[in-house]
Amino acid sequence: MEDKEILENLGKIEIREGKERTIKSYVLRNNILEDKEKENVVKYMPKYGLFFKDEMLSYSDIFQNNNPTIIEIGFGNGETTAKMALIKPEYNYIGLEVYLKGFVQLLKTLGENDIDNVRVMRFNAVDVLEHMIPDNSIEGFHIFFPDPWPKKKHHKRRIMNPEFLHLLATKLKKGGYIYMVTDWQEYADEVLELVKGEPLLMNPFYTFAPPVTWRPLTKFEQKGMDKDYVINEIWFEKKK
């Protein structure tokens, strides 16, 4: 793929971009890349990047192994993603993010540190899950600090809703997990209730989960803790 084509394809993030479709859980900001960022895209995208195709992924082809695969939805700047991939190299990770600057930052981190068990895609998560992820194939989903859309009129934009939770559940292997972390209490309470209406999932803790020791603490999270925000961890599992 030519350099110009790589950059152009990176700008396509929805199947029906520019037309009315489902309510979006994100707003795009600052999509202008500096020359150095463009260089990083061209340099590292061929190895670490995935582009949308209306066909199911083969994880063994992508990673050249049969390790279990975890998908992180909304990885921000990728700080947690890169650290976790190094901590747990026995897993493969696919990161989905529409925030362009953060996407390029993780590309750069992966390339400079030669992290082989991560691939990234800049595309709408719902489209990717529906068209590229086989049912019953994912070991786990990570959703760390999703936008809480705090105003009541914007709650419909929250990514975690009954339809999305069911979609995640269909993609999980039996015994697979959904791991969400948020510092927005009302959102956490709402998501905790969602599992009660999803027959494919269960909450093994019945309430919020205890802190997971292998999740790295990020600068964003530390800032919240410094302000005495309560960090709630949610863990759902697919019934066996």
Enumerate the active-site residues.
Answer: 147
Q: How many CB atoms lie within 10 A of CB 214?
A: 8
Q: Which of 51, 45, 22, 25 is nearest to 122 (CA)?
A: 51
Q: Judge whether 75 and 106 are in contact, CB under 8 Å.
A: yes
Partners of 180 in the β-ladder: 143, 234
Torsion of CA 28, 187, 146, 52, to 10 degrees: -80
Q: How many CB atoms lie within 10 A of CB 27?
A: 10
In the numeric block, which tokens belong to residue 133?
Answer: 């992820």
Measured CA to CA, the distance from residue 142 to residue 179 in angstroms comes to 5
Q: What are the backbone angles phi and psi of residue 14, rounded to the nearest 5°?
A: -140, 155
Half-sphere CA count of 107, side-chain side, radius 13 A: 27
In the numeric block, which tokens belong to residue 181?
Answer: 């972390």
Measured CA to CA, the distance from residue 150 to residue 97 in angstroms comes to 21
